[in-house]
Amino acid sequence: AWFTFDELCKRPLGAADYIAIAQRFDAVICANVPQLCGNTYNEARRFVTLIDALYEAQTRLVISSDVAVKNLFVGFDAQLETADGDEEIALQEQPKQRPNGDEESLVVGEG
């Protein structure tokens, strides 16, 4: 299924919505993911909830963004922890050039 970031994270959706998406599709593409910061806190929170729901359902996630994955979240004080011993999501950044010369980051992850 192909969605834009705005369709998934700028609307008032919650965990139940994302779980329903994860149960319906084997893979989700989320296009146009912006850089997330304190000014986009609600959208960032929804995006993390989406990632969690997809991870738990073992649904593949592909995102496209104009920023590198390491710069996707800025201005947040957070660290990655796991208490259940599960493997973390393996992210693979695949930069590609757009026709206008700009670089786009494509991140592919699998839980």
8 closest CA partner among 24, 27, 31: 31
Strand duo 60-65 + 103-110: pairing: antiparallel
Please give the C-alpha separations between residue 23 and each of 31, 53, 55, 78, in angstroms, as whole numbers: 20, 9, 11, 28
Cα(69)–Cα(95) distance, integer angstroms: 10
Cα(80)–Cα(89) distance, integer angstroms: 11
Question: Looking at residues 55-59, what average pLDDT do you find?
Answer: 95
pLDDT value for 89: 43
Confirm whether pTM is higher than 0.85: no
Tens digits of residue pLDDT in 64-97: 999 988 888 888 665 444 455 554 444 444 555 5
pLDDT value for 80: 45
